[in-house]
Structure formats: structure tokens, C-alpha cells
């Protein structure tokens, strides 16, 4: 009997090892795909346009940022995949035609926004406006100094109706310039190429503006339009070049001889900024996880509906792999507890993805939010707000539990309390979409609509109302009913073909890259970079003291 048990255990271990290896291979392939996609995005408008840019004596947007920020410190890029596979009829808009990074300049954390003139001469597409507004939102929320490296032809005219007049369009940028100035947030602009029409207001509404001699210009209307409008003949350099604006109009504050000189001047200015008031989040010496971070690739299952233990993921993200669970034996489909990430104290709210058994002997499905888990999460979020501890949400959720038992137990009420707590939380929130992010589960676990300071997805993530399989079945029923009404016969083969077509379309929409293209998330990241994103995010948030108490209103718990 002992021999049989030993063999059984060995066989189980063998199966687990095979499964781990399969998961690892699959997730590393996803990460490799991420690297390849990012390498393509980094080329902007393509190598030929980069070469032409260099011929003019100009640096590219990425070269400018990399020269500006401290090379010995980490940085993170916001919305690198913005615009991916969008605007194909217009030739595309890689990375939204603008590069945004959070990094350090002379040791001071800043956010840098650089127009990519290799993409349609830096013209603004609708997604460009959304991405710029996201950068300003991050600056406002975290009181981060913001640096604009301007090189843009202005609004992309063929799509002007989608970028010009609305509240969240182009004009909101300048409104934010004014509001940020009143808040005391440092804004510095360097005009390093074209800066025309309404776009000319951005650098001049900043605290200080630099302009590069000979390669940069600022004007409301260029020489051709001036000739057409009032008949005046004048060249662009005389109209709005560096000498004009530094010595005649006084529009700009500093003249730079070239790109590097302008960037050096920015470094000099940033180095003099005084320190900000701090929020006071707890920070101690950082330690790496004791468990191997790379094992995340083998733990995370290939199939999105497969069970796994989220606790094992957490152990590979937190300092010393130490995680003190709150209400460990209650509401087990959500894990809550305290830890440190890169030294910063955090409260973690994570979807448990394994099947759990309650004390009453009932089984609960992993990834589903039940009444007790919603109640537990609500209480924990309130505790973190009371203790001034930033919150980290690890999403792998299919939604709230349905059925008569849940409804009679008040799942809507308990879910509403959790959503209320997330909505009214005053401590900074950070969301990592690890796997599924479906329906109301996305909302309760601090999706984009609930103001996380940063929200990123792993390559394994899926964001949608429901899974591709479930949605395809629902849509198939609608489609077949419509076809039958028109008198068409639906054979099993035809039905299977329709299902595959619908699922393929839906699967494309739930991809993390589809979400990143539309800036529903700030990035798709390598899971091994998660600690860096959270740490830099909390450091940024620590610049903005909490100004109001936590209050859940009429749903006080």
C-alpha cells in the first residue's frame, strides 16, 4: 500500500510538472510576442522617416526622452500600444504619435510627453488627444512635474471632427495647462520642431518655454496661410523662429542651439525644483520575493478558465514573499491582505482562482465574487483607507455569482457596497489585469472607470463583458434567429462556421492589445515588471497628500 501511494504521488508530481512546463512555454511565448510588438512600435513612422529626421539634425521622440531622463534609474512607458491597428485607412498612428514616460530627471520623478514627428509629422489623431490627456491626468493626480517636448503639425485635419470640439478633445489640453498651473504643478515645454495653430498655446501656457534655433518654430498660421489670408510674404523662420520669439515677441524664455542643448537646459531647471509635500505612505528597505518571480510563467495557466492558486502569484510579487491575509478563512474567492512591494506598504485585493470549500461545506468557484467575498473586500478597502495604505488590485475575475441563492442573499447589495468602497477610496489604487476581467467584476476590482492611478495588463489578460466563448454563443443565437426569420436554413456546418466567425471577431476585441490601443489600460507589461510599475506608481502618488477623508455615503458599513 505504501509503495502504491508513493507511485501515485510521483505520478501526480509528474503531471503537475508537465502542466507547469506547458504553462511556462505558453506564457513565455506571450511575453516574446509582447517584446516583438514593442520593438515594432519603437520605430514609430519607420526607419526611413527616422533617417530623414536625423538628417535635419533632430533627435527622435524616444531619443529625446532617453537623453533627458536619468539612465541609471528605471522608467515606465505609458500607452505604448495606443492606436495599434487603428486608423488603417489613414496609414495608422503607431503609439498614438506621441511617446510618454515616467522617469527621473536629476533624481526628480517627472512625466515626459514627446510628439513623434516620424508619425504624420506629429499630427494629432483622436487617440493622440486621449493619450496626452492621460499624461496630464497622471500629472494632476500625483502632482508630478510634466515636461512637453513639442514637435507637431497640429490637428490631423481629415479627422478634425473627432479631435477638435468636445470636452475630452484637443482644447482640454490647454484648459488643463491653466488648471495645473494654478495647482502649482511644474510644466516645462521645449519646442523642438513644428508648433502651429492652436497647438502653439501648449508651450506658452507652460511655466517656462524653450525653443531650438533653426529647427523649431511657433505660430498660429504658417507662411503659406499668412500669404493666403492677408497677402503678406514672409518665411517661417522670420515669422516664428527662435530669434523672433526669444528676442522680439518674448513668447519663449530660452533659446537652444540644438536638441541636446534644449534637453540640458531642462535638466538644469528641473534640478532646482523644491521638494513636494508627501502623502506619507509607509516605505522601508526593499527586498526581492523569496519565491522565484520567473515561476509566475508556470503557475499562470494557459487556459483562461483553468483553476490556479492566486496566492502563489502574490508570493512572487511581494517583498520576502510575505503576505498577511485579512479574514483568511472567510470570503475565500477574494484574497485580501497586507504586504510590501519594493519597500512600499500595500493592501492587496486579489481574485482567488482555485475552487474553494467554505466552512459550511459549500464549494465556490474561483474567479467569481460571492456575497461573503464582496463583504470582506469592502471591509478591507475601508481598513486600508483608515491606515493610509495604497491598494493593489490583482484581477482575474469572471464576475459576481448569479442564481436564486445569491440573489436571495442580496448579491446586488453586497456588490454595490464593494463598488462603493472602490469608488470612494481616497488612497491611490493600482490595478493589474492578470487574466479575466469580465463584466461587473472589472468594475468591482477597480477597472479603468474607477480611477486607478495606473492600470496595466499582462499578455494573458482578457477584458470584455464576458468571455469569447460565452459571448459567441449568445451572439450566435441572435444571428441564427435572424437568418431563420429570413428563411435561411441553418445546418450544423453553417452554425459551426458562424460560431467560429463570431468568436474570432470577439476574441480580437478582448485582447489586451485591443484594450491598450484604446488606452483602457496604460500598458501591456511583462509580469516580471509588475513590481517596478507598482513601486514607481506609489512613489509618484506619494507626492500628492490625501486631501479628503474616506466616506462611503449612504452605504456606510
- Asked which of 113-117, 197-201, 315-319 is least confident by mean pLDDT, the reply is 197-201
DSSP 276: P
Residue with cell 483562461: 304
94, three cell numbers: 503607431
What pLDDT, on a 0 to 100 scale, did the predictor assign at position 555? Answer: 60
What backbone torsions phi and psi does residue 3 show, to the nearest 5 degrees? -60, -40
What is the four-CA torsion angle of 194, 77, 204, 156, rounded to 10 degrees?
40
Nearest-angstrom CA–CA distance, 461 and 162 = 29
**In the chain, pLDDT over 70 holds for what percent of residues?**
96
10: pLDDT confidence band, cut at 50, 70 and 90?
low
Give yes or no for residue 14 having a pLDDT over 90.
no
Band of residue 529 on the pLDDT scale cut at 50, 70, 90:
very high
CB 436 within 8 A of CB 387: no
Residue 229 has pLDDT above 70, yes or no: yes
What's the angle, vertex CA 21, arms to CA 15 and CA 26, rounded to 5?
A: 130
Quick one: pLDDT at residue 416?
Answer: 92
Instruction: Place 168 in a pLDDT band, splitting at 50, 70 and 90.
Output: confident
pLDDT of residue 468: 67
pTM above 0.85, yes or no: yes
pLDDT digits (tens, 9 = 90+) for 318-371: 999 999 999 999 999 999 999 999 999 999 999 999 988 877 778 888 889 999
What does DSSP say about strands 363-364 and 356-357: parallel, antiparallel, or unpaired? antiparallel
- Quick one: pLDDT at residue 473? 75
Beta strands in 417-512 (DSSP E): 429-438, 454-457, 462-464
Sign of CA dihedral 504, 506, 509, 513: negative
Band of residue 282 on the pLDDT scale cut at 50, 70, 90: very high
pLDDT at 4: 47
Contacts of 491-500 spanning 24+ positions with Cβ under 8 A: 499/472, 499/473
Inter-axis angle of helices 492-509 and 468-485, to 10 degrees? 130
Asked whether the predicted pLDDT for residue 30 surpasses 80, the reply is yes
Q: Count the neighbouring beta carbons within 10 Å of the beta carbon of residue 151.
A: 28
Mean per-residue pLDDT over the chain, rounded: 91
State the Cα–Cα distance between residues 271 and 333, nearest whole angstrom. 48
Predicted pLDDT at 554: 72
pLDDT at 360: 79
Q: Take residue 253 and report the three cell numbers written for it.
A: 524664455
Check residue 9 and give its pLDDT.
Answer: 53
| Separation CA 114–CA 310 (nearest Å) | 38
| Residues 468, 452: Cα–Cα separation, whole Å | 26
Q: Average pLDDT for residues 505-525, to the nearest whole number?
A: 93
Is it the case that residue 474 has pLDDT exceeding 80? no
Amino acid at each position: 500500500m505504501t509503495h502504491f501511494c508513493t507511485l501515485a504521488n510521483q505520478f501526480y508530481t509528474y503531471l503537475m510538472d508537465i502542466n507547469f512546463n506547458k504553462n511556462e512555454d505558453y506564457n513565455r511565448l506571450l511575453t516574446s510576442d509582447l517584446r516583438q510588438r514593442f520593438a515594432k512600435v519603437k520605430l514609430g513612422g519607420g526607419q526611413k522617416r527616422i533617417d530623414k529626421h536625423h538628417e535635419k539634425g533632430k533627435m527622435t521622440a524616444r531619443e529625446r526622452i532617453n537623453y533627458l531622463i536619468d539612465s541609471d534609474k528605471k522608467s515606465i512607458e505609458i500607452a505604448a500600444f495606443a492606436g495599434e491597428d487603428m486608423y488603417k485607412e489613414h496609414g495608422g498612428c503607431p503609439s498614438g504619435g506621441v511617446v510618454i514616460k515616467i522617469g527621473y530627471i536629476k533624481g526628480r520623478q517627472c512625466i515626459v510627453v514627446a510628439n513623434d514627428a516620424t508619425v504624420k509629422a506629429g499630427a494629432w489623431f483622436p487617440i493622440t488627444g486621449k493619450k496626452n490627456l492621460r499624461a496630464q491626468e497622471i500629472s494632476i493626480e500625483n502632482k508630478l512635474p510634466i515636461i512637453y517636448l513639442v514637435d507637431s503639425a497640429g490637428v490631423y485635419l481629415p479627422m478634425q471632427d473627432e479631435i477638435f470640439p468636445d470636452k475630452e478633445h484637443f482644447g482640454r489640453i490647454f484648459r488643463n495647462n491653466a488648471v495645473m498651473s494654478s495647482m502649482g504643478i511644474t510644466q516645462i515645454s521645449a519646442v523642438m520642431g513644428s508648433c502651429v495653430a492652436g497647438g502653439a498655446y501648449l508651450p506658452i501656457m507652460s511655466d517656462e518655454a524653450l525653443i531650438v534655433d533653426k529647427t523649431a518654430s511657433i505660430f498660429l498660421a504658417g507662411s503659406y496661410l499668412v500669404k493666403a489670408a492677408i497677402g503678406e510674404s514672409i518665411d517661417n523662420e522670420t515669422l516664428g523662429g527662435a530669434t523672433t520669439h526669444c528676442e522680439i515677441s518674448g513668447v519663449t524664455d530660452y533659446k537652444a542651439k540644438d536638441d541636446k542643448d534644449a534637453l540640458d537646459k531642462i535638466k538644469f531647471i528641473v534640478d532646482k525644483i523644491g521638494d513636494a509635500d508627501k502623502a506619507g505612505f509607509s516605505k522601508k528597505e526593499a527586498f526581492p520575493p523569496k519565491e522565484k518571480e520567473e515561476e509566475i510563467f508556470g503557475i499562470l495557466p494557459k487556459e483562461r478558465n483553468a483553476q490556479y492558486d492566486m496566492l502563489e502569484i502574490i508570493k512572487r510579487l511581494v517583498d520576502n514573499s510575505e503576505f498577511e491575509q485579512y479574514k483568511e478563512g472567510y470570503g475565500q474567492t477574494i484574497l485580501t491582505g497586507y504586504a510590501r512591494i519594493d519597500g512600499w506598504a500595500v493592501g492587496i485585493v486579489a481574485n482567488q482562482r482555485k475552487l474553494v470549500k467554505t466552512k459550511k461545506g459549500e464549494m465556490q468557484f474561483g474567479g467569481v465574487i460571492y456575497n461573503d467575498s464582496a463583504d470582506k473586500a469592502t471591509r478591507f478597502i475601508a481598513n486600508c483607507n483608515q491606515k493610509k495604505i495604497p491598494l493593489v488590485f490583482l484581477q482575474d475575475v469572471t464576475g459576481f455569482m448569479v442564481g436564486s441563492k445569491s440573489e436571495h442573499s442580496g448579491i446586488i447589495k453586497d456588490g454595490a457596497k464593494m463598488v462603493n468602497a472602490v469608488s470612494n477610496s481616497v488612497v491611490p489604487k493600482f490595478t493589474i489585469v492578470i487574466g479575466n476581467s469580465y463584466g461587473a467584476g472589472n468594475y468591482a476590482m477597480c477597472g479603468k472607470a474607477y480611477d486607478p492611478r495606473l492600470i496595466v495588463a499582462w499578455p494573458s489578460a482578457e477584458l470584455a463583458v464576458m468571455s469569447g466563448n460565452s459571448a459567441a454563443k449568445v451572439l450566435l443565437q441572435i444571428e441564427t434567429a435572424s437568418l431563420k426569420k429570413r428563411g435561411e436554413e441553418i445546418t450544423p456546418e453553417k452554425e459551426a462556421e458562424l460560431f467560429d466567425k463570431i468568436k474570432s471577431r470577439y476574441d480580437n476585441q478582448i485582447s489586451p492589445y485591443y484594450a491598450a490601443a484604446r488606452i483602457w489600460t496604460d500598458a501591456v507589461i511583462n509580469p516580471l515588471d509588475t513590481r517596478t510599475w507598482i513601486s514607481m506608481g506609489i512613489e509618484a502618488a506619494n507626492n500628492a497628500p490625501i486631501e479628503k477623508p474616506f466616506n462611503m455615503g449612504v452605504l456606510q458599513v
